């Protein structure tokens, strides 16, 4: 029901996102989208580019008088750093006559792939010796377009009282050590938003900052783990009739598509294999006065992370996502020049030491796009009045 595409290069003129399938009549608040873009740019360990880019979204189609019209919505984010890269990225610059040679006066090649990045694999796939053609699209700058697109999906879900939160549970060797309560979602949001590394514990926060400082001093990078919580989704989203309907699989695939992500676990995740079934599965209780989104059924534990059989069960969606250290290092690793085939040090350019705090925000965005699609799949997407009518009817029925 809900589809989106992104386009643009890291240092090109702009990023573009096209979102199709939103119901007509949805109120669109650009300030809320810009707020999400601002959250993505924050976090201790980000590089100097964040001082250049001040991401703001422009709507160039699909919205009139502050509401969606039913057709595709096109969003644009201008790259302010484009001014510094025009010689390298100018799309009007003549292409080399020979793929193996550069014309006099053209931008320098990038031929030294970074281990852990898409440089070499993308170069081979697309037959590019100048790896700049790969780097520009493979860059995590693309996530700004996804966050903008998700700003629309998130506003749809928030209209139906769905709430999002995220926080960082580990950076390098520094991690939350104490148990924490997810019941008070507002407190999780308050603490994470106030932290330089989106950590809800001040002791762990200082340890994470110290880890980032040490890595920066060494010209290295750090990864970590973030936790995502989504509250308020009704039971019944997703499906199991076919493999691609399973919402846990769709979430895992979407989150794994984010740059640097190497692992996703839902609910208890890998910890479940250490326990017996009686210690894993969430017992079911019934209370006619329970939240209508749960149809009167509820669990006192949430080891399943809000998903059973590929379908939401009304409890919180809880997902942990592991992001590896970035591949661009200020002390580069060994590599091979793709033209000369000789051993070299990998390329190095402006980079971040740690993007884990930003990863948390990006995971919220990608999850919002997937969950909004599942929501519209169940309740309809032609216009907001129809979606709302179907949703209210669903809540009013006992089963």
Q: Using CA atoms, how far apart are residues 295 and 312, in angstroms rounded to an integer?
A: 12
The whole-angstrom distance between residue 84's C-alpha and the CA centroid of its chain comes to 27
CA angle 63, 78, 95 (to 5 degrees): 120
**Token duo for residue 168:** 């960082």
Supply the pTM of this predicted model.
0.92
**Token match 């081979």: residue?**
124
Sequence length of the chain is 399
Q: Is 60 helix (H, G, I), strand (E, B) or coil?
A: strand
**Token duo for residue 220:** 């290295």
Which phi-psi region, left, alpha or beta, contains residue 47 (left: φ > 0; alpha: ψ -120 to 50)? beta
Q: Using CA atoms, how far apart are residues 38 and 256, in angstroms rounded to an integer?
A: 23
Q: What is the pLDDT along the chain (399 residues), one digit of tens a residue?
A: 899 999 999 988 999 999 999 999 999 999 999 999 999 999 998 765 556 668 999 999 999 999 999 999 999 999 987 766 665 655 555 555 444 433 333 446 799 999 999 999 999 999 999 999 999 999 999 999 999 999 999 999 999 999 999 999 999 999 998 788 889 999 999 999 999 999 999 999 999 999 999 999 999 999 999 999 999 999 999 999 999 999 999 999 999 999 999 999 999 999 999 999 999 999 999 998 878 899 999 999 999 999 999 999 999 999 999 999 999 999 999 999 999 999 999 998 878 999 999 999 999 999 999 999 999 999 998 999 999 999 999 999 988
Residues β-bridged to residue 7: 16
3-82+141-328+351-396, CATH topology level = Chorismate synthase, AroC fold (3.60.150)
């Amino acid at each position: 029901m809900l589809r989106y595409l992104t386009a643009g290069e890291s240092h090109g003129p702009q990023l573009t996102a096209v979102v199709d399938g939103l119901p007509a009549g949805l109120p669109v608040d650009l300030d809320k989208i810009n707020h999400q873009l601002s959250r993505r740019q924050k976090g201790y360990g980000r590089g100097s580019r964040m001082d250049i880019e001040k991401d703001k979204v422009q709507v160039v189609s699909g919205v009139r008088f502050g509401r969606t019209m039913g057709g595709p919505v096109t969003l644009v984010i201008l790259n302010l750093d484009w001014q510094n890269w025009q010689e390298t990225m100018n799309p009007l610059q003549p292409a080399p006559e020979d793929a193996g040679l550069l014309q006099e006066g053209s931008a320098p090649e990038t031929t030294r792939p970074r281990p852990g990045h898409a440089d070499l694999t993308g170069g081979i796939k697309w037959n590019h010796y100048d790896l700049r053609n790969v780097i520009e699209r493979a860059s995590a700058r693309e996530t700004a377009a996804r966050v903008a697109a998700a700003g629309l999906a998130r506003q749809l879900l928030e209209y139906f009282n769905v709430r999002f939160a995220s926080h960082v549970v580990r950076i390098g060797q520094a991690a939350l050590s104490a148990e924490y309560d997810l019941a008070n979602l507002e407190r999780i949001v308050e603490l994470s938003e106030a932290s330089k590394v989106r950590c809800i514990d001040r002791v762990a926060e200082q340890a994470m900052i110290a880890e980032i400082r040490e890595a920066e001093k060494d010209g290295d990078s750090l990864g970590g783990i973030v936790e995502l919580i989504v509250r308020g989704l009704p039971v019944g989203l997703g499906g199991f009739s076919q493999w691609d309907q399973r919402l846990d699989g769709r979430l895992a695939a979407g989150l794994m598509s984010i740059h640097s992500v190497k692992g996703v676990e839902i609910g208890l995740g890998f910890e479940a294999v250490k326990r017996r079934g009686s210690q894993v599965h969430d017992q079911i209780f019934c209370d006619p006065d329970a939240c209508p989104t749960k149809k009167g059924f509820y669990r006192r534990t949430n080891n399943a992370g809000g998903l059973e059989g590929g379908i939401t069960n009304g409890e919180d969606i809880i997902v942990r996502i592991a992001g590896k250290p970035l591949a661009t290092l200020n002390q580069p690793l060994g590599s091979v020049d793709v033209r000369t085939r000789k051993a070299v040090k990998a390329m190095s350019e402006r980079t971040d030491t740690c993007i884990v705090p930003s990863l948390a925000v990006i995971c919220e965005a990608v999850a919002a796009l997937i969950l909004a699609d599942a929501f519209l799949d169940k309740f309809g997407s032609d216009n907001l009045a129809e979606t709302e009518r179907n949703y209210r009817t669903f809540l009013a029925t006992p089963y």
